[in-house]
Structure 1
């Protein structure tokens, strides 16, 4: 049975938005259960590695067999289809720092904050970094959109910072969410700068994260520097995180965004993903019983308006995380 391009594009959009929304709600729910943020980051990396590392190994060997000495350089014993320097740069920001900062943030701040501060601030960081590293021009229209995003972020995070004077620690999660978004934006801009294929970039950052994080995690656990709850966590929780955080958030959402870009184009796709902050906040209220204060609603509206205003431009510019090619396109989570 063959589906029409329109049906495939619609399905890809639904899957992508669902996974991105579920990532925020599920990560916050997980913070209230057994595993630590280091454990969840490990399961995300291992789950994605089970799919992407064999794919990378096969991709490198197929290129070598077809092109011989003229094959593009690879690294990490043939697991990464990109050169070592590119793999290390992209892997540090997109594979390691993003996951650790994001998951740690959910242990301090609610999902409603993450809904605004992570996907909401991503266009802001991407635009600023692209202007600095890629010399992208920020038009007045996009500048207005970025100003709305900043205002929304301040409405959400400002209250948490004020609460810090009375002993609150939600501000720590807000800062971690903003840092996580900045790390993904850095990865996105670097991927654009080096003009890497999105599928190859996803494989590369996963290979780097696996080879760096897994032995480091094991060493820190052995030394007692980091606490792990893997030994006491139920197997159902472990398998779920490997499947959803690794297979879903990393692999399936990447393929889904690729299909969405191919059908709807970068501008319409970015407008579709503007649904994520609002849906995540609603999901947090419904499934996690989180309160929705007036400042969260106002911040959410401002951030969503800023994203939509920024993509009214006809060119993709800095709004998309990685430029699409006939075969690829990828962004967070």
Structure 2
């Protein structure tokens, strides 16, 4: 993928739209799980509809369509990335939202760059933990404690849901590090790699969903079904393509900051559409998490931490 900034601010509309799409995904997940859709099935439908949307775009591209990789090693790396970037975290976020609000899940998503930095700093030999980065990570961790409100105790359900979301962002962090080292640098088209990734994620979830999701899924109702289609086709499939355009127009450094904007959308939409409560510690802790990320990343090289979903 080419990382070249275009002059002006032509990337801004796409950036705002992308943040709104990804911010609204937490509301869509909440509607689905509240309707009784098992978390693993939420993840499966998300990947399936996302993959179908990208395959449709690929087929409509005609002669301009990129070739799908056939190298077995690329397929192997795609399977690992699919598990770390899609299958596992999508399931964990959906499970988390069976216990916590979409507002809180959106805030936890903002810890993704912190998790990514942890893996980048300690698993990539070329990167070294500097005092600035460690201080930023500590500030982000303090923000996590504030969001949880540890001084007043944490209910079992809230703790379980929050830990699931944090495990999801940890998967994102591991997935980004693996992607950077083994997957994104390949000569294949970025869009073709994403298609392969979501296809493998769908296949992986097809294997485990009947076991973890209690057999075949039932009809959740028209609204939850529509939310799942939107979550997959738009919030996953088309959003990946839009994210590529933003990266190419503004550079991956600017594109990665979409992670800081999505909690604003998830908070507003969760409060307005689902009447979810918003505590002061959620706002203050989320701000501290973002401040820690910004401080830790201020010394990173261009494009070091990209936006992942």
Q: Same fold (TM over 0.5)?
A: yes
Matched-pair contact (CA < 8 Å) for 2:104–2:282: yes
Deviations 1:9-68 (A, max 9, x none): 122102210111101222223322242212212211220221335677999x9749xxxx
Residue 318 (structure 1) shift: 4.0
Residue 272 (structure 1) shift: 4.5
Count of aligned residue pairs for this structure pair? 296
Identify the residue that residue 35 of structure 1 maps to in structure 2: 37
Identify the residue that residue 85 of structure 1 maps to in structure 2: 76
TM-score (norm 1): 0.78
Q: 1:22 aligns with which of 21, 24, 29?
A: 24
Residue 275 (structure 1) shift: 1.6
Residue 88 (structure 1) shift: 2.3
Q: 2:157 aligns with which of 169, 174, 189?
A: 169
Higher mean alpha-carbon deviation, 293-302 vs 203-212, is at: 203-212
Residue 276 (structure 1) shift: 1.7
Identify the residue that residue 237 of structure 1 maps to in structure 2: 224
Matched-pair contact (CA < 8 Å) for 1:126–1:318: no
Structure-2 change in CA distance of 1:62 and 1:28 (3 Å) = closer
CA distance in 1, matches of 2:268, 2:55: 35
Moved over 6 A (4+): 54-59
Q: 1:154 aligns with which of 145, 158, 161?
A: 145
Higher mean alpha-carbon deviation, 185-194 vs 142-151, is at: 142-151
Identify the residue that residue 122 of structure 2 maps to in structure 1: 132
What secondary structure does 1:109 align onto?
coil
CA distance in 1, matches of 2:82, 2:289: 28
Higher relative contact order (CA 8 A, sep 6+): 2
Determine if the alignment matches structure 1 residue 310 to structure 2 residue 288. Answer: no
Matched-pair contact (CA < 8 Å) for 2:50–2:198: yes
State the superposition RMSD in angstroms.
Answer: 3.0
Identify the residue that residue 3 of structure 2 maps to in structure 1: none
CA distance in 2, matches of 1:54, 1:272: 26
The residue correspondences of 1:104-253 to structure 2 (distance < 5 A) are 104-118=95-109, 120-135=110-125, 136-159=127-150, 162-164=153-155, 168-196=156-184, 198-218=190-210, 220=211, 226-227=213-214, 230-242=217-229, 244-253=230-239
Deviations 1:203-229 (A, max 9, x none): 2221212223224434x3xxxx63368
Structure 2 residues without counterparts, runs of 5 or longer: 1-5
CA distance in 2, matches of 1:84, 1:38: 23
CA distance in 1, matches of 2:265, 2:292: 16
Matched-pair contact (CA < 8 Å) for 1:94–1:184: yes
Identify the residue that residue 254 of structure 1 maps to in structure 2: 240
Q: 2:254 aligns with which of 261, 268, 277?
A: 268
CA distance in 1, matches of 2:94, 2:294: 27
Residue 308 (structure 1) shift: 2.7
Q: Which has the larger radius of gyration?
A: 1
CA distance in 1, matches of 2:227, 2:145: 34
Structure 1 residues without counterparts, runs of 5 or longer: 65-71, 76-81, 322-330
